[in-house]
A and B are shown apart, each in its own frame.
Chain A
Amino acid sequence: MTDQPIAPSRRSLLSMIGGVAGSAAMYHAMTEMGYADESTFKGPVKLSPPPAGTSVLILGAGVAGMVAAMELRDAGYKVQVLEYNGRPGGRNWTLYGGDTYTELGGFTQKVGFDPGQYINPGPWRLPYHHQGILHYVNRLGVALEPFTQVNFNAYVHSTNAYGGKPQRYRQVQADFHGHVAELLAKTTKQGALDQSVSKQDREMLMVALQNWGALNGNYEYGKSIETSLRRGFDVDPGGGLNSMPVPSEPRAMSDVVQSGLWAAIGASCNYEMQSAIFQPKGGMGMIGKAFGAALGPLIQYNAKVIEIKQDEKGVTATYIDSRTGGEKRTASADWCVCTIPASILTQIPMNVAAPMKNAINQLSYSAALKVGLQFKRRFWEQDDHIYGGITYTNQPNGTISYPMWDYFSKGKGVVLGAYTFGQAAYLAAAKSPEDRIQDALEYGSKIHPQYRQEFDAGVAVAWHRVPWTLGCAGAWTEPARAVHYDNLCALDGRIVLAGEHASRIPAWQEGAVTSSIDAITRLHQRVMSA
């Protein structure tokens, strides 16, 4: 199995999860700083009352579908939701001890976790700027707690660097910063910037580099108390006698560069990975549950849609029981918000025009894998002093994420033992859940030798095996977006699509929310002008 990069580069990450912002960038001078809100979510949606008796059929009770259902219901629409699963949430989903999950191909996993232990097979983070989903989370009264992305004491690991010994994130970052600062200071002194940077700016640059890179008086990055105050000590300072700190030895520039471990630093600076980030207490699935409770009788569960037809008067969906099949039933309304993933929708007969049809048909779904591993004790905290956050590795498990709740608990803990996209995730989908777990244990024990002794129970979700999505999220390419994106989002007759696949924030719940609000806003405009 080939190694992956330490951390996916921005480009590779974006292409894996579908491309973020799209190509048609507008360059816009930010002349005013002010407190302008950058979020696309512009506060609670306000829809005027629709004509009496107007109805909307919503397909899918994921986050997009339930946002649409809640807002349309509140505006006065008659709303009905059909959902394939027996629960609300869709990819907003948490697996708890005692849960059962059957994937395509028939493997059934009974989650062997203890009470209170869980993993989120789908989304797990709520960045501070995802104001749309945060709005609904707070409206629904779902309690949040901080999520730690960057943990300076977690590891960065490569099988090809430092004899496979994991390095602390703080060491990797301090050494990269320090060497870059030293090299740039040196070339600056040697005159390499004389043409491009003014003398005054060069002088300030030297000060800034010294300060930021922890350089010494000669602008060198070496073994010292100052550099250890960034990368950590061999022995920390202490109290009383014999408490002198012992500085650590920075890695040589060439080793730092060749290790490739620097890739993890950039990953942690991404907009979506920046602090503050939150997670719902008790699992991401708490949001889906709360939405479901708020919508109550409007959602019909276990309904597998097999046909969608519209005419001048309305929309009719035909469905069967997703568990037992049986006879066909129909649900009709004046309008339809369809949040069924394109991977499924492409297989459902639906009379929309070619532009939307083509848009739906061209969207492939990316691969992703998450493996949850319950351990008998929280050795990463007790032995390694890692409290939450993420370890990066070039092994196929990609990352190891430590639980960000019940810190310092003396009980068990569930580690996210693998979270990968692309090739590694495809390979995992082709294996049995047991093999995926075994692989995650194998890779993880290279970093945490405690794995084998402490392992308790695991669960593995490969998203191409998930019956209701056939993949993790829509994988947009920039050329495809240019041709098809607007056609996917535009109203076709009485039908509008919504979901992360109909957004420029793919694979994030914020994409589902903002897509849904945009879709119902346009649908409502159409209703009011009809």
Chain B
Amino acid sequence: MIGLAAGTTAMYHAMTQMALADTSTFKGPINLSAPPAGASVLVLGAGIAGMVAAMELRDAGYKVQVLEYNGRPGGRNWSLYGGDTYTELGGATQKVQFDAGQYINPGPWRLPYHHQGILHYVNRLGVALEPFTQVNYNAYVHSTTAFDGKPQRYRTVQADFYGQVAELMSKTTKQGALDQDVTKEDRAILISALKEWGALDANDKYATGLEAGERRGFASDPGGGLNSVAIAGKRIEMGDLLKSGLWSAIGAGLAYDMQSTIFQPKGGMGQVGKAFGKALEPLIQYNCKVIDIKQGDKGVTATYIDSRTGGAPKTASADWCVCTIPASVLSQIPMNVGGPMEAAINQIPYMAALKVGLQMKRRFWEQDEHIYGGVTYTNQPNTMIGYPQWDFFSKGKGVLLGSYCFGTPAYIAAAKSPEERIKDALAYGANIHPQYKDEFECGVAVAWHRVPWTLGCAGFWTEEARAKHYDNLCAVDGRIVLAGEHASRIPAWQEGAVTSALDAIERLHKKAMSA
């Protein structure tokens, strides 16, 4: 048992009664009983789901073998470092020119506090974490169609929206608009709450003054000694704010998955995949392209070729199979499962996503603009600019996430060459940071529909499709069970891969035990 002594279990029960218990679907380390002697499992894919399955099944006593298409562990858990080479479908090869220590995470980059499953494995593997800042009040919100394209600081947008919502609410409450719905006592408290929350002045106005400055910042901050009086800025009027659409960025940090605290592995998300790979070392066979999966009464056999050289097909067999190959690829591999699972696999489209990393000669966003980590949002196709959340205040170089987009702009980017994607990211970014032009050094661009082993970023479920197909995708078919983010309700997150894998092997194990 990891971590929990007997006394703390009792404590946990006490806490449950206090309603402090946690809501994660991950219920602590999985405990599988010893399997029948010699029972074996073939795991297809050494991404997070596959490696969680392999590790837990191995620990339970199964004979485990993993086949992986790439020459490295991790799958979409992946960091690109200086010196790395990446060849996408279509043949464009990028040699990453970043300096030592600089990187981007083309895939997942965040570990929210409530993703207890992946956090469990990260900690079990000893991968060091550091905080990830989603909301930076000093980062920008930008629209080409608002404020003449001048970026606004997040703090001013949020403070002015809250302040004017509070002012309107306070005013209508006083005018009697809530008299029917809210008791007199509650109305009085509401008015003081609005004053506090919205930074309203003594007259319940969100005035351009120092009250508001304590939220939105100042034109000139208060200082020390003489001539140090703070100078208030001017609020953005509600009409302009609403028209700008910039208010929509306020939601960014409020969403469950974006709430602080969030973490990232030190040195890149790929450290998780690497650590998993090391822990499983001899079990994973790399560079294996699976071309056929067959099950019979006795077991499962996968046929594979060398993913680099092709050559003669080889086979790997086991009693059972955990298949974590993305549905985008799996739908093209002959596999004798029943109609329901096959139909489920065949109906999951894979989403478009783009990430562009840009190495800059100096960290001008820190030095000139005092933005330390966090994200700037824009209505341009690059969608956002993520600032590096490590080596803060370093005098050296830094890598920006210059583009992170989905859907339409990501499709368009996939149709372009890596060089053009980088050029686009630079053009959009320069509208926010004019320093781009002087400071840019080198870049790398990953469009997920060009990634050879996934053909897209993640499975795209609609509610209708889920209602019809999801359970069929997840149910054990004979000796085969599927796992991965696509077989979860936390799509595109590593937590989905982990919880899916745990659920899958638990059910597979039950079947193995009753077989």
A and B touch in their complex, CB below 8 angstroms: yes
**A325 interface residue, CB < 8 Å from B?**
no
Whole-angstrom CA separation of A138 from B393 in the bound complex: 7
Question: Of the 9-residue stretches A257-265, A436-444, A467-475, which lies at the interface with chain B?
Answer: A257-265
CB distance from A245 to the nearest CB of B (A): 7
Interface string of B488-503 (1 = CB under 8 A from A): 1110000111111111
Task: Answer whether A153 and B113 are a contact pair too, CB < 8 Å, given A176-B193, A230-B254.
Answer: yes
Contact among A170, A208, A243, A385 for B161, CB-based, below 8 A: A208
CB-nearest residue of chain A to B197 = A266
Question: Of the 9-residue stretches A16-24, A99-107, A109-117, A355-363, which lies at the interface with chain B?
Answer: A16-24
**B59 interface residue, CB < 8 Å from A?**
no
**B100 interface residue, CB < 8 Å from A?**
no
Q: List 22 A-B contacts (CB under 8 A).
A: A21-B210, A26-B231, A26-B232, A28-B231, A30-B234, A33-B150, A40-B220, A146-B389, A151-B261, A187-B172, A190-B177, A208-B242, A212-B250, A232-B23, A244-B489, A385-B113, A386-B113, A387-B261, A449-B18, A450-B8, A502-B224, A515-B228
CB distance from B23 to the nearest CB of A (A): 5
Number of interface residues of A (CB under 8 A): 129
Interface string of B203-234 (1 = CB under 8 A from A): 00000111101111111111111111111111
Establish whether residues A37 and B215, one from each chain, have CB atoms under 8 Å apart when the complex forms. no
| Chain A residues with CB under 8 A of B32 | none
Whole-angstrom CA separation of A493 from B455 in the bound complex: 76
**B269 interface residue, CB < 8 Å from A?**
no
Establish whether residues B225 and A29, one from each chain, have CB atoms under 8 Å apart when the complex forms. no
Establish whether residues A146 and B489, one from each chain, have CB atoms under 8 Å apart when the complex forms. no
| Chain B residues with CB under 8 A of A383 | 8, 11-12, 15, 20, 22
Interface string of A490-527 (1 = CB under 8 A from B): 10000000101011110000111111111100100000
CB-nearest residue of chain A to B233 = A30
Measured as residues with beta carbon below 8 angstroms from the partner, the interface class of chain B is 35 or more
Establish whether residues B374 and A449, one from each chain, have CB atoms under 8 Å apart when the complex forms. no
**B373 interface residue, CB < 8 Å from A?**
yes
5 tightest CB-CB pairs across the interface, nearest first? A518-B225, A240-B503, A40-B223, A238-B25, A515-B224
Most buried by B among A21, A209, A262, A407: A21
Establish whether residues B138 and A274, one from each chain, have CB atoms under 8 Å apart when the complex forms. yes
**B129 interface residue, CB < 8 Å from A?**
yes
**A269 interface residue, CB < 8 Å from B?**
yes
Task: Answer whether A230 and B225 are a contact pair too, CB < 8 Å, given A239-B499, A382-B3.
Answer: no
Question: Of the 9-residue stretches A49-57, A178-186, A310-318, which lies at the interface with chain B?
Answer: A178-186
Establish whether residues A235 and B230, one from each chain, have CB atoms under 8 Å apart when the complex forms. no
**A347 interface residue, CB < 8 Å from B?**
no
Establish whether residues A184 and B490, one from each chain, have CB atoms under 8 Å apart when the complex forms. no
Interface residues of A in 116-130 (CB under 8 A from B): 128-129
**Given A30-B233, A243-B488, A450-B8; 9 other pairs, CB 8 A cutoff:** A146-B131, A181-B165, A239-B25, A239-B495, A243-B499, A271-B213, A276-B372, A513-B224, A514-B228
Establish whether residues A241 and B507, one from each chain, have CB atoms under 8 Å apart when the complex forms. yes
| Chain A residues with CB under 8 A of B18 | 165, 449
Establish whether residues B228 and A40, one from each chain, have CB atoms under 8 Å apart when the complex forms. yes
Most buried by B among A29, A33, A39, A490: A33
| Chain B residues with CB under 8 A of A150 | 260
Task: Answer whether A239 and B23 are a contact pair too, CB < 8 Å, given A21-B230, A25-B209, A152-B259.
Answer: no
Contact among B116, B224, B490 for A40, CB-based, below 8 A: B224
